Amino acid sequence: MIREAKEETGLDIKPERIIGVYGGKEHRYTYGNGHQVEYLTIVFECSVVSGALDQGNDEFAELAFFPENQRPPTALKYPEPIFIKGNGERAHFE
């Protein structure tokens, strides 16, 4: 997870805790090309240790931090509380 976060975002992170594990019917998704998947997602709370968002990566060209009240919608449904932490911002990847 640490290596993947660095590759995809340019950020060095430190995992703090598991927030939740999600899967099942609500986490099925059909891509535009008709491929179907069912995700099992483990959501971690992480701290950013160093680095900067790498917006030069084509896969995540629109990667950004959003204030909690301005998050864009996600393709899959997750409980709202996982995106809220005190007065800070949470990263959102589309």
Would you state the pLDDT for residue 32? 92
Strand ranges for 23-88 from DSSP E: 28-30, 36-38, 41-51, 64-67
Would you state the pLDDT for residue 86? 54
pLDDT (tens place) for every residue of the chain, 94 residues total: 999 999 888 899 999 988 888 888 888 889 999 999 998 888 898 999 998 887 776 777 778 888 878 888 877 777 877 777 654 444 444 3
Contacts of 81 (CB under 8 A, 6+ apart): none
Please name the CATH architecture into which domain 2-92 falls: Alpha-Beta Complex (3.90)
Would you state the pLDDT for residue 77? 76
Give the pTM.
0.65
Say how far apart CA 28 and CA 76 lie, in whole Å.
Answer: 8
Whether 56 contacts 66, CB under 8 Å? no
Would you state the pLDDT for residue 87? 40
Q: Which amino acid is at 30?
A: T
